[in-house]
Amino acid sequence: MKTRQMNRDWISTAATLSSALPYLQRYTGAIVVIKLGGHAMGSDDAMDSFARDIVLMQQVGVNPVIVHGGGPMINALLKKLDIKSEFVNGKRVTDTATVEVVEMVLSGLVNKRIVQAINRQGGRAVGISGKDANLMVCDQTDPSLGFVGTPAEMDVKLLHTLFERDMIPVIAPLGAGRDGETFNVNGDTAAGAIAGALKADRLLLLTDVSGVKNAEGAVVTELKTEQIRQMTRDGVIAGGMIPKTETALDAIEGGVRAAVILDGRAPNACLLELFTEHGAGSIIRP
Ligand code: X2W
């Protein structure tokens, strides 16, 4: 005779699902843009866990959009090819040879790794770059940086078409120039521009730090844009955090409801942020 022993884990799983109901209801139909940086990508297991969270999000009615980076992967191939590379203010100086490598690595290797991970979890991901369907037409950022682009004209119609078909866009941060050039766009900048153009409900910036820290080094869980500006003037927000907070501010200015800076290496970081009362990292609101 088959008997059933109540297991504590099952009881807690059921309770967790039940407590997520208000959050599931809140996010039905929401657009959530997730920036996955190269440093947050990690092992195959971490990628599978990220992909699973994305598929779960889509399953419960969210429209997730992944915008990825891949700086460390670009560095690795440039090194193999013996091409020198340097960064100025967080942007890679990009000549003709470099932009070819950037496109190969981001649109090829990294983009398809994410697409495949999502599809293996039962999702339907479609890998594109900012060039596809004129998603992100760019202007040159500064002649001294070469082929580095600033998003100038966005066309998100393709993304809405994918949402209607329950497909998950995975976007490499490259854009087309108006004269046929290929532009390398910083991954955070691209994610902010795409989230703004979509008027997304959330922009999640997955990084390798736990959030925005105050002068005492503690993560601040909720911040207004004005507090971010003040902390930047005071030098509390500095270094690598500046491009993240700037992206968050730009995205909010563009119409995104809130941006969250969180540690992408933490297990189930995206689910924790969206579907629990606890949240994760630092949430920035207007
Ligand atoms: C970046 C694009 C990739 C990126 C680069 O060439 O490294 C510029 O710097 P992470 O992993 O998000 O840093 N583009 C202009 O942003 O990758």
Q: What are phi and psi of 52, to 5 degrees?
A: -65, -40
- Contact between 188 and 251 under an 8 Å Cβ cutoff? The reply is no
The reported pLDDT for the residue numbered 265 is 86
| 68 CB near ligand 1 (under 6 Å) | no
**pLDDT tens string 86-123:** 999 889 999 999 999 999 999 999 999 999 999 999 99
* Whether the predicted pLDDT of 158 surpasses 70: yes
* Whether the predicted pLDDT of 279 surpasses 80: yes
**pLDDT tens string 52-77:** 999 999 999 999 999 999 999 999 99
ipTM exceeds 0.95, yes or no: yes
Would you place residue 33 in the very low, low, confident or very high pLDDT band (cuts 50, 70, 90)?
very high
Ligand 1: distance of its center to the CA of 51 in Å? 21
| 73 CB near ligand 1 (under 6 Å) | no
Residue with tokens 């670009």: 74
* Whether the predicted pLDDT of 139 surpasses 80: yes
Q: ∠54-55-56 over CA atoms, to 5°?
A: 90
| 146 CB near ligand 1 (under 6 Å) | no
| 78 CB near ligand 1 (under 6 Å) | no
Atom of ligand 1 at shortest distance to CA of 85? 6
HSE-CB for 8 with a 13 A CA cutoff: 0
Residue with tokens 């009362």: 277
In a 3-state reduction of DSSP, which class is residue 266? coil
Distance separating alpha carbons of residues 93 and 72, to the nearest angstrom: 15
The reported pLDDT for the residue numbered 1 is 66
| 70 CB near ligand 1 (under 6 Å) | yes
Residue with tokens 């630092």: 282
Residue closest via CA to ligand 1's atom 17 equals 69
| 92 CB near ligand 1 (under 6 Å) | yes
DSSP letter (8 states) at residue 219? B
Residue closest via CA to ligand 1's atom 1 equals 186
Share in percent of the chain as helix, strand, coil (round to 5)? 45, 25, 30
Q: Where are the beta strands (DSSP E) in 1-135?
A: 31-36, 63-68, 87-88, 91-92, 125-129
Atom of ligand 1 at shortest distance to CA of 73? 11
| 148 CB near ligand 1 (under 6 Å) | yes
Query: Residues 215-239: what's their mean pLDDT?
Result: 95
* Whether the predicted pLDDT of 213 surpasses 90: yes
Would you place residue 244 in the very low, low, confident or very high pLDDT band (cuts 50, 70, 90)?
very high
| 264 CB near ligand 1 (under 6 Å) | no
Residue closest via CA to ligand 1's atom 2 equals 186
Gyration radius from the chain CA atoms: 19
